[in-house]
Structure formats: C-alpha cells, structure tokens
Structure 1
C-alpha cells in the first residue's frame, strides 16, 4: 500500500497519480474490509483531487471518482458517514464540469452510494435524476458530416456488425439537410449513456420507494435507447429496464399501493415483449445474453406477475426453445465469423437460456410448467449424448436439475426419463458434469415422490461409495447434499444410521457452500422427527458445530438447527452428550458449553 500512496503524497506527474489512484480502486475491490486501516489516508487524498481546479489533474479527478465508488462497495458500513458528503461532491462536480467521462464516473459513484444509503438517498434524487435524464436525452457529441460524395458516415461503433442508422432530424428543412451525409458520435458520449443506464438501474433497486416519483420519466428515456445503434448502450438499457421491474416489485412488497401495483404491471407489459423481440431479432449475441440474464432476474423477482397476460408462459417458452434450437437472429451463422468464437458464444447463449428455463418453472409453478417442460426435455436430453461436448453436457444436466427444483412435485411424472440420464452422467470424467448430475439425483429424490422412492436403495448404493472415493470438493459437497435430501425424503421418516453417519463424517462442506442450506434442513428434520436417533452420532455433531460456529459463511439457520439438536442431546441424553464433548479440545468444549448455556 505504501508504494501506491507514495505518488499521492509526494510530487509526481499527473499520470503517476492517476495510475496510483486507479490501482487503489483495484486493491479495494480485491481486499474489501482488509483495506480499512488505510481508508482515512486514501479518503484524504481523494478529497484533495476531487476539489482541485488544476486542468492537468482532470484525469486524476475522474479516476478518483471511480476509485471512490469502488471504496464504497468494498468498505461498506465504515463509508456510510461519508456518503452524504460524497453525494454533494459528486453533484457539485456535475454542476461545475462539463465532461462526459466525469459525469459517468459520478453516476457510478451515486450507484455505489445507493447501496449504502438506500432510501436515505431521497433528498439527492431530484438532482441526480435531473443530471442523468439530461445525459440520456443529450445529443452532445453528435457531429454532422458534410460530404459532397455519395458516401456517408453513420454512428461510429467498435462492432462491425452494427446496424446502420442515420440520425436525421425530420423537422429540419430539406435544403438544410442536403449537404449533411450522416452523423458520427464520439464514443465518450455513448459510454456516458451506457453508464447512466447502469447507474439508474442500480439506484432504482437500492432506493426502492424513494425512486418511485422518478420512475416514469426515467423509464421512458431508457426505453428509447433500445433503438440505439451502439450495442453496449442497448445492452445497458435492457439491463436497466429489468432492474426497474425488480425495483417496482420491491416497492410493492415493502409499501403496497394500487398505483405501485399498476406501475409494475404497466412496466412488465412493456418490458417483457421488448425482451422477447430482442431475443428473436437482435443480431448481437452480447445483447441477447444480457436480455436473457435480465429476464431471469425479473422472473425470480416478480414471479407469477410476469406471466399474467394469457399466453405469456407459452410465448416465453417458445422464445427459449428458439434459442436452444439456434433459430434466433444472433445465431444466424451466415455471417463470417471464427468457428471457435461462434462455438463459445453459442455455448454462452445456451447457458443464459438454461438459467431462464428453471426460473420460468419456479414462476409458473410445477403443474403449469410441466407440459412445457415436456417440450424442453428432448432438446435438453439430446445434449447429454456421448458425442456431445463437455460444455453441452454440463449445461443440459445442470438445467435439468434446476428444472426439477422448479417443477417440485410435478417432476414425479418425469422420473423414468430423467433418472437414467442423471445416473449415466455421474460416470462422466468432467467434475462439473458429475456435480450437476449428483445434484439432479438429490433434487429428484426430494421432489419425485413415489416414482423416485422406488430407486432409493440404488441411489444410496451409488452415492455412499462415491462419497468415500470422490476427491473433487464440489462433487463431494453435492454428494453430501444429495444424501441429505435422500434421508429427508425417506418414506419411513427414519434416516438409515449408516447413511447418516457417513454423511456427517464427510462434513464440513468445502466448496459448494450453498448445500449448507440443505444440511441445515436435515438438522431441522432430525430434531423434529427422530431426535433420539442422533445419540450415536453426537461426537460428529459436536465436531461439526465446533468447526462451523465461528464461520460467517454458514447460514445462521443451519447453525441454529444444529444447536437445537445439541441442546436436546445435552438435556435428554446427558451422559452421551458429555462423553462426546470429551472428544473435543478443551477450549472448543468450553466454547460450545457456553453457547448452549451449560456453564
């Protein structure tokens, strides 16, 4: 850190200062809370650059804004007392300095601060949204091109495949236009619009109800940018529209009102069709990926609200099937393109569609989605065959597993078609494919009802030996999750002692920490159904508790469920509990006794 601070303390060139400030932002992003000891010193230097009037330090000032935003995200709460000061600094700079790069960095700072301030950003929103609306509407940087020849300049974009559109003012007199052959736009102003969209989306979600008075005007301007010839602006506009939907839904949840609900429904009625149109017609894959990702976020946030118009579920399913069948405009392979790039982009597109399908299943509900899942099934199963690539197999198996969760009990009707595919995939060499397959077996056991229960002994016979020999941490953790689901789904409601002992011995999880939620459910299940059966595994439970209690990555509910089990053992099976406690190191044993209130 001293090396980074040196150019800021001592006389050095503006370029050296700019690089040092940039490096501090990168360090903050990586170091997070570890940066706290240096935070006051860094803030002192950034303040100095933000209020400077020296023209040669303008790049340093812009970089300081960017680094300040990175600090707000990295440091978190310790930054909160300075949030209002930072807002005022940013607004002052927007008012005093006419520079697109400065404005976009300031907007990104406002977005970062909104994560700290939430609705407390309200007093600053009138000014913030005014500046941002001006940036969205601005035609600054659009330069008319005069050319006597027949050729003409269009929007300058880094993408060769960009749509060609002339920006011509229809209200101008024809004779005034006669010598204007087209327009070029400086990329700095496109970048400004892109970052404005991104910032507005984030601010809308974080400030929630406080943003509602500005939603209509902001939405209108962002929606217009879906026609922008610059792909990054279109991408950012689509992403922002999705965040506006999520923000409105959040506001409806926290402060229900008829106007808010009506606004959400009206917004969804515009955004969802625009997403479908983009998936079918947009020629840039990056934009379509962003649309699919945004759609998935809206589905997860708004749920069934997105499917209210009759036929919307079918429309969305047909759209996603078109992606799987490579029938969209951006998957048209007639254009010249490197085969390797094309394959990579196609694989990424499939992954984004694969995220949307289970989100759609969860939003629609299992019974409503089941007929549509039957239509997806052949398209997914054909990507699990022997000749398919590892990426295709991983995508297909992972999507199937996630869909089973979304289908819930409705997945029972598909057990006979899914089980052989998942069992086969557990024998794949690639650990990601194996991991996805084992996760799929677990959720199929959990939700597949009687058709799945008929195969429990086969599944246990597969998973227990795998648990003993698997060396890949993620696969190992998914085996633990699958066994936990099998134990809870057992028709006898009594866990098999051998399976329970093997599972607990394999804990703690190492990589796929999301499965701690499943393990926590198992602890709760054991406490409610058969707490007396855990006496024999008390040493393992105490060992696990001693390892995870201080780990803030473990869900609190999981820790609480385990503590309930141990409290039961301490009270109802005192001798066994204290005997097991003796297997722990002295300090750990005392710590657990204190937590359980036994000292």
Structure 2
C-alpha cells in the first residue's frame, strides 16, 4: 500500500511545472521494472479515490507502455496478472464515471487487444470480443433509435453494416433476436417518415443493415422473414420516383439476399411476386440513365435469384441477358499520356494511371468498370447454375470473355473462370460445336498466360486452362500449342528464380497422361529446383504439387522420376510449413491410389510420418487443419489401396476417431468412400462389438452432411443413406444412434435420406 502511495506522488510529480522535479521523477519512473509499472498504473487507473489528473496520467502511461514495450513486459507477467489486467480494464470501461478516463481506458484495451491478436489471426482475449458484442451492438442500436439526429442514425446503421459483414455467424446468432427486433422497429418508423416527410437517408442504411444481417445469419434468419418481407416489397412497388432510385436498388438487393439466406422453400411463396417486380424494373431498363444506381443492384439480384430458383430461372434469361451483356461489354476509355498530358488530367476525373517509365503513363477511365466487373461475375454465376440451360448464350459470352484483357482484375478473373463453365454448357450441342468453341478459347487462354502481369490472376487463368483441357480430353492441344505453352512456362519459371514473385500453375496431365511427359521433361530441372530445402515454402509447395500431378496422372511411368522427388516428398511430411505438409500428404495419397507396385516401400515409410503429423499438438488449429486432413485422407488411401503397407488393425480405430473431415471437401469424399467400403464389408473393427460403433458412425455421417462434405450428387451419398436406412429397421439401435445427435445433425440425416 505504501509503495502504491509513493507511486501516486510520483505520478503527480511527473506533471509538475518544475523542470527539475519532473526530470528527477522521470528518471525514477524509468527505473521501475516494467511488470511493477503495469501493476501500479492499473491500480492508479482503477482507484476510485484518485484525482482525475493522476488517473489520466496513469492511463496515458499504461497505454504507452503496452504500445512501446509489450513484448518485453507482458509475456513476463504471471498468468494471474495477465488475467487481472484484462478483467480490470473491462470492469473499468463499464464502471468509470468520468468520460475522459473511460475513453483513455478504452484506448488501453484497444492497444492490448491489438497486441493479443497473433499473426495467424488467433485472438488471445476472447472476453473482449464478447464484451464488444454485448455493448457495441447495443450502443449502435441505441444510436440508431435517436430520432432527433438522422445523420447520426445513418452513421450508426453504416457502422452496424461494417460490423455484421465481417462478423462470424456463430458470434452473431446469440444477438440475432434483439438485433432484428430493433431493426424492424427502426425500419417501420423510417418508412413512415419517408411517406410523411420524404426523408430517406436513414432508411437506405437500415435496409442495407437488414440485408447484411440476413446474409451473415443465413438460415437462422428464417423466423424473421415474415417480419421484413412485406415492407420491403412495399418499398420496391412504391419507391418509383427518381430521387428514391438508390433506396429502391438497395431494397432489391436486400430482398434477394434475404431470399438466398432463408432458402428456396421459405422464399418460394413470395418468389413469383418478387420476380414480377424485378421484371417490371427490367422492362423499364432501357429508360434508365447509365449511372442509375438500380442497374448494379438489379444485376446482382438476378444472379441471386438464379441461385435460389436453379433451373427454373432459365425462363427469365431472355429478359435478363440483354442489359447484362450491355453492361459486361462496357469498353473503358484508355490513353497513353506523356507528362504534359498528365498535368491536364487528374485521378479525381475518374482516371487511374500506371507509370510506364520514359515520362509516359497508361491511363484508364474507371467509370463503369465496377459495373462491368459485376456483370461478368454474374455471367459466370448463370453458366455455373444453369449449365446446359445457358447454352443459347454461350457463343456471345465466349466472344465477350475472350476479348483482349482489360482492367479491372475482377473482369479478367471472371473471364478465366467462365471458360470451363461455358464448355460444360456447350456440351449439349454435341462435339463439333464444343470443339469449335474450344478452338476459339484455347489461343486466347494461352496468350493470356503469356501476357498476364498479375500473378494472382495468372494463377486463375492457368487453373481455368487446366480445367478446360481436362474437360476436353486427349487431342484438344496440338504440337504448336504444346510448344507455345512450354516456352511460356519455361520463361515463367526462369523469371521466378530471378525475382521470386511468380508461382507455377497447373499442367494438363490429367487429359494427356504419359503423352505430356516429353514436354514436361524440358521443365524438369527448373521444377526440381523448386523443391530444394533451401527454397521458400511457397516454391516447395508448388513444386510438390506438380510432382503430385505427375504421380496421379502418369503412373506407373512416373516412377522413373522417383529419385528426383520422393525423398523431398517424404521429408515434407514433417515440414514446419502446413502448406508444404499438405502437398506432401496429397502426394502420398496418390502414390497409394495410382502409383503402382514400385511406390510400395515409400507408402510404408510414410505411414508413421503421417500419423505423427496428425497426432501432433495444434494439428487441428486453423493454420494446420487442411494439412492434417490431407494426412488423414492419405492414411485412409494407403489402408484402402495398399493395405500391405500399413498395420490396418492397429491404425483403423484411430482413423475412425479422426473423422469427419470438415475443411477439405475433396479429401472428405475419399474418406467417406472408404468408410462405405468398410461398413458394407461388415468390417468388425469399424462396426465394433455388437455394432457399438454405429452411433459414432452416424455422428460422422451427420457432420459430413451438415458441413457439406457429403453432397447429394456424390456417389457415396446413396451408399451412406443405405447404411442409415438399414439401421432404421432396428428400433433399439436406431434410437441409440439418433439420441446422440443434436438438432442440426438430425436434420442433416433427414436431408440425406430424402435426397439420396
């Protein structure tokens, strides 16, 4: 206590107008150990008897200490003291009477929380997040209800939008009831205000807030659907004046997002009326001005309606496609400018510039480009959702997407993504039409691979090209294509080793198998360099992925390259980088499945390494989970395709305990296929004595369906459904299996039974 009183005197002296006293006090303060400073300062901030000046000084010094010396001081505190610091700060925020002190305590909490979020995004102060949810949300809602300050209301609504857009669903749901009830009250009040006074600013933001909440809450928004939909439809029907077009556009967006959130079953009774409203707006589309804000909202809303209605949406394409193609075809104004020209044009005029050197810049006018990018993404959505139902439009869309690439990045990514989807759409017209379309695409894709300046976009283009080749199959590339592509990729790899910026993409092994190997061997020395232990983890990851493809699609011929990659691949299973471990684990899996007899010793050696990686501490953490799930899948593939390489009796119970896989959907499908094999063969280890493992198996299946690791179109879904149906005939066992499931898991099983 005496030490604390002396510290109060010291804080007072630090504010002394006497330079000598202040300097001596600063020297004394600097000599206090950091951990002691934290204790004294926190007590000073929390002391209800202290003067405001002393408390303010203590708060400022504590924040400065956490900002400048966090790594030196905080880890040295005991766990009890760290907990006390966090608890005391949250308590002070809630109980401190002085607004100035409370604000400074909030600054301290913000500084501490910033330091307690790791590089991996792991939050070491979850109590603060809960506190913010309990008080940020309520504070925003209270501010939104401040009828005397509409502009403040609008800002509060905008803050709520930002908050809910990035908020995890699991964290939002507990507050959903209070949140939507407040939003409904505010919406009704502001709708009346619009009718009576014509004011719309707050209503625009509230409508977007509702959309954001529904988008995050998804199916949890179903109970509140009827609370909002009538009013939202009323706005769209009646907000037809020019000054209300932004409100109308945002309301259209809100309706479509709510429909997507609650699903087709709940939305269908309103779907017809909503579609008629959209159609009426679309019919008047040609009368809208080019900068009408409804345009972009309409384009996105149609795409959401397509996702909701599925194949039933095809009937609306003749109405939708004209304006959509018009927007997607916007040609940006570009110019090559010298320094003198640049002086007459500014970025405020809607121009963006890229310096080309030699006193020249490339300029592009950005007006309309955002709408163009959105429209291109919507075309991708239609092709993906409607497949053969989109065939009438494939030719014009291909011609649009294959035009010379232009900014922004989203347009180029959408163009690449659309190519394999459009080929799938065109299949219905037969091989000649499909081949003709591919020839048109192929040269454009190869040219884009050679000229794309953005490495992320380049990866998307190469991925799309590989998917197209896989879809078209053997014979779709001629010698000239291989030579051009080989030269481009060789140049990319050589450039990569010079600047370490580009990343190698995928190659068309799947379609061409061993035929591609002579071309591949030209690149071999460069690819082997990628997997050297001294290379960065991203290099090693991509190098291993390339060899994974070679093993998967060119086995058993691939074994002739084994000396070049097998040892690095096995070593990768204990690599510090989860990305490298994932690539290595996938490689072991394809060795077991496709590699042939020659790979058997390496599969045997890999088992212990895979099990070690799975059982390691933190193996299921966010950064490690994908690598771990690939290891689990690889162990399953070895037991399934190379059982002689593993002690199946010993490993199988562990493998079952590791299921299900929730993150890597592709590998999850492999594990469920193997699980079906084991169940259908009445494997005694998997089923357990007297079928005692069936409740665990039911849990695995239910979790797989709930997490969409098992989908109705998957081959194993019918097999899993049959397992469930067989147990249904045994009353006691069925009750035992079902009783261990929660509501969501039970619904998932019902969904499996109804769809498979």
TM-score bracket, normalised by the shorter chain, equals: 0.7 to 0.9
Q: Distance in 2 between matches of 1:466 and 1:185?
A: 50
Distance 2:543 2:363 in 1: 44
Name the residue aligned to 1:307: 476
Alpha-carbon spacing, 1:421–1:446, altered in 2? closer, same or farther (3 Å) = same
- Name the TM-score, length of structure 2 as normaliser: 0.60
Is 2:272 the partner of 1:79? no
Q: Does 1:66 align with 2:253?
A: yes
Aligned residue number for residue 483 of structure 1: 635
Q: How does 1:125-524 map to 2 (within 5 A)?
A: 125-136=317-328, 159-161=352-354, 187-224=366-403, 226=404, 228=406, 231-232=407-408, 235-236=410-411, 239-240=414-415, 242-243=417-418, 245-252=420-427, 255=428, 257-258=429-430, 261-285=431-455, 287-299=457-469, 302-304=471-473, 307-326=476-495, 346=501, 349-350=502-503, 353-354=504-505, 356-357=506-507, 360-364=508-512, 366-473=513-620, 474=625, 475-490=627-642, 496-509=648-661, 511-524=663-676
Q: CA deviation at 1:91?
A: 0.8
Deviation at 1:488, TM superposition (A): 1.7
| TM-score (normalizing by structure 1) | 0.74
Q: Measured at CA, do residues 332 and 217 of structure 1 come closer, stay the same or move farther in structure 2, by a change above 3 Å?
A: farther
Question: What's the CA shift for 1:498?
Answer: 1.4
Contact 1:464-1:502 at 8 Å conserved across structures? no
Are 1:550 and 2:742 an aligned pair? no
Count of aligned pairs between the two proteins: 535
Compared with structure 1, are the counterparts of its residues 143 and 10 closer, same or farther at alpha carbon in structure 2 (3 Å cutoff)? farther
Name the CA shift for 1:123/1:275 in 2 (closer, same or farther; >3 Å): same
In the aligned structure 1, how far is the partner of 2:226 from the partner of 2:728?
48
**Cα RMSD between the aligned structures?**
4.5
**How much has 1:536 moved relative to structure 2?**
5.8
* Structure 2 unaligned blocks of 5 or more: 1-179, 194-198, 751-756
Whether the aligned pair in 2 keeps the contact of 1:504 and 1:540 (CA below 8 Å) is no
Q: Unaligned regions of 5+ residues in structure 1, if any?
A: 165-182, 334-342
Structure possessing the higher relative contact order (Cα contacts under 8 Å, 6 or more residues apart)? 1
C-alpha change, 1:586 and 1:271, in structure 2 (3 Å) is: closer
Structure ID, larger Rg: 2
Q: Once the two structures are superposed, what CA deviation does each residue of 1:4-40 show, in whole Å capped at 9, x if it has no partner? A: 3344211365332222222333323322212222223
User: Which residue does the alignment assign to 2:200?
Assistant: 14
Match of 2:228 among 42, 46, 58: 42
Distance 1:465 1:138, change over 3 A: closer
Cα distance in 1 between the residues matched to 2:334 and 2:483 = 45
Paired residues for 1:19-34 under 5 Å: 19-34=205-220
In structure 2, C-alpha distance between the alignment counterparts of 1:26 and 1:402, rounded to whole Å: 41
Query: Cα distance, 1:570 vs. partner?
Result: 12
What whole-Å deviation, never above 9, does each CA across 1:294-348 have from its counterpart, x for those lacking one?
A: 4344345x24178344443454444344333337xxx997xxxxxxxxx7xx3xx
Q: For residues 222 and 520 of structure 1, do their structure 2 counterparts lie closer, same or farther at Cα, with a shift above 3 Å needed?
A: closer
> Could you tell me whether the CA contact under 8 Å between 1:541 and 1:562 is conserved in 2?
no
